[in-house]
Amino acid sequence: MATKRVTGSQAVILSLLEEGVDTIFGYPGGAIMPIYDALYDFDKQITHILTRHEQGAVHAAEGYAKVTGKAGVCFATSGPGATNLITGIADAQIDSIPLVCITGQVASPLLGTDAFQESDVVGISMPVTKWNYQVTNIEEIPEAIAKAFYIAQSGRPGPVLLDIAKDAQVQELDFEYKKCTKIRSYISEHPVDPFKVKEAADLINEAKKPLLLFGQGVIIANAEDELKTFIEKTGIPAAWTLLGLSALPSDHPLNVGMLGMHGNYGPNIKTNEADLIIAVGMRFDDRVTGKVSAYATNAKIIHLEVDPAEINKIVKVDVGVLGSAKKSLPMLTLNVKENKHEAWLQEFRDCDKIEQEKVIQKDTFPTKEGLTMGEAVRMVSEKVNNNAVLVTDVGQQQMIASRYFKFTQSKSNVTSGGLGTMGYGIPAAMGAQLGAKDRTVCCFVGDGGFQMTLQELGTIVQNKLPVKIILLNNNFLGMVRQWQQLFFDRRYSFTELQNPDFIMITNGFGMPAHKVSKREDLEAGVQKMMEHDGPYLLEVVCEKEDNVFPMVPAGASVSDIILEA
């Protein structure tokens, strides 16, 4: 490959183009200004989205990565610009989202002098990145970027951060780019052991009440078809984690619902009746297991996982199968017998009937006067034919939307799982819309989380992103209030909100908005939002004490799931 003489800043942009980057989210500042100057000449090849805050940029990059499967890219300047990325980077780390974050830094002679807007972002971000590196030598720029993309996107994905000193941005080098395909001592993916697969298959063939749990690892590996083939051959009921949502269509006959604290009754209660648990691309998060010592008490456990650190970390397993689900699932399918577990599956359907009567009917077709979150979610999902990208903020609306929004295709759920970041929804929806331009993006937010990043409405309007925002407003920090109601004798300590006029604020950004507070107006309000050509906010005023059930109380067994207060 021929070389050409360029500045370090130009090398950054050229390197990103070599990696196929088409969208960057960011906010300029002094220490990254040379890179922004270089970007000016590439506006036809790369779309840059100017967010209103660096946290908005990193969450938008997460949303983009979730729907595309590619690394999201964001820029920030040094000091406060870089530190404002940390929450989003931590979010991406725990949820295995590939990001490449590039920050400007003061010139290398000033490092360690407390120069203006200097912060040790490499030290600060070390615990929450898959890899980070500070570039002080211009010659390192192409190689560092190549390595960053390889690490971010390979194996179990995650965020990386490159901190580039200002003098390295303005010096010149002979540019040559080589993609990274291997790093010594870094094993991105282990080969699947056929003997472990055979051990797992033997357990599956012997099981009478097997239950498969699948997480985001299936989506990351693009193994949705392999998962479907496996469960259809074996007849095994399959339940999903919050981040595994959409890997299997909602209406698949073997889909038995969501696991976890606010998951469905059947998969939670039947976990301790199963004689075999097959976990695929999930990490046995505490919100899934509840009290670990009382989890899956009658079951042997098989764990298919790309990251060796996750096997036996929380739950001791009988067979651990390392490797990508894309490779391990087909091998497992070849070794298992065709089967049906009709009586076992019927037990889940019997649980569905109980939950339908005690919870779902009351949530989605209520008879009480006030509007519920569940009926708003159901209405929106029906209007988009269960075929939109769902983006959620964190809190009650997140759990309700995950329960009642339906899916027909994968990479359709964008949410903050492990970190539970309020303020995630609006910026993540921007990134999701840019990554899935031909799809409808529906973003559910609560009145608390909405006020953390509502400034990004300006970004949405400026870039004409047709995001549909549903603000479920109960004038409370709803999830915290629910815990206070159930476990703290209704002592509502600092959770009630005196909210502003959300319609006026939204209109101030140039976005149309509408408020609904009566059931008879809900369907027309949703229809008006969906028919509008462009971004739109629908505020739905919900009951203050509208709770999310079922619920596994913190520290309790999954068998202790409660259906009502």
- pLDDT score at 1: 53
Catalytic residue among 18, 33, 42, 117: 117
Closest C-alpha among 363, 387, 361, 390 to residue 375: 363
* Structure tokens, 402: 């995950």
Q: Is 208 a catalytic residue?
A: no
d(CA 277, CA 236) in angstroms, rounded, equals 10
Catalytic residue among 19, 54, 226, 310: 54
Q: Establish whether domains 4-175 and 369-542 are of one fold.
A: yes
d(CA 181, CA 23) in angstroms, rounded, equals 23
Instruction: Specify the CATH architecture of the domain 4-175.
Output: 3-Layer(aba) Sandwich (3.40)
Q: Is 117 a catalytic residue?
A: yes
CA angle 425, 427, 428 (to 5 degrees): 60
Catalytic residue among 430, 479, 529, 551: 479
pLDDT per residue as tens digits for the range 359-378: 999 999 999 889 999 999 99
- pLDDT score at 565: 76
Closest C-alpha among 374, 388, 539, 518 to residue 451: 539
pLDDT per residue as tens digits for the range 269-292: 999 999 999 999 999 999 999 999
- pLDDT score at 196: 98
pLDDT per residue as tens digits for the range 322-356: 999 999 999 999 999 999 999 999 999 999 999 99
pLDDT per residue as tens digits for the range 399-415: 999 999 999 999 999 99
Q: Is 527 a catalytic residue?
A: no
Threshold 0.75, pTM exceeds: yes
- pLDDT score at 544: 86
* Structure tokens, 397: 């609306």
Cα torsion angle, 465, 471, 475, 477, sign: negative
pLDDT per residue as tens digits for the range 173-216: 999 999 999 999 899 999 999 999 999 999 999 999 999 999 99
Residues above pLDDT 90, as percent of the chain: 95
Rg of the chain's alpha carbons, rounded to an integer?
Answer: 24
Q: Which CATH class is domain 194-348?
A: alpha beta
CATH of 369-542, one of 3.40.50.970, 1.10.1370.40, 3.40.50.300, 2.60.260.20: 3.40.50.970
The answer to whether the bond into 210 is cis (omega within 30° of 0) is no
d(CA 286, CA 288) in angstroms, rounded, equals 5
pLDDT per residue as tens digits for the range 451-503: 999 999 999 999 999 999 999 999 998 899 998 999 999 999 999 899 999 99
Q: Is 373 a catalytic residue?
A: no
* pLDDT average, residue stretch 432-436: 98
Dihedrals phi, psi of 258, to nearest 5 degrees: -95, 140
Catalytic residue among 4, 45, 116, 518: 116
Quickly state the pLDDT bin for 2 (edges 50, 70, 90): low
Kindly list the distances between the CA atom of residue 395 and the CA atoms of 200, 244, 424, 446, in Å, as whole numbers in the listed order.
37, 18, 11, 7
Residues with Cβ within 8 Å of 208's Cβ and at least 6 positions away in sequence, in order, are 275, 341, 344
Residues above pLDDT 70, as percent of the chain: 100
Catalytic residue among 66, 70, 147, 166: 166
Quickly state the pLDDT bin for 3 (edges 50, 70, 90): confident
Helix (H, G, I), strand (E, B) or coil at 459: helix
pLDDT value at 545 more than 90 = no
Structural contact between residues 281 and 305, judged by C-beta atoms closer than 8 angstroms: yes
For the chain, which residues make up each domain, given as ranges?
4-175, 194-348, 369-542
Q: Is 479 a catalytic residue?
A: yes
* Structure tokens, 105: 């830094």
- The chain-wide mean pLDDT, for the chain, equals 96
pLDDT per residue as tens digits for the range 292-329: 999 999 999 999 999 999 999 999 999 999 999 999 99
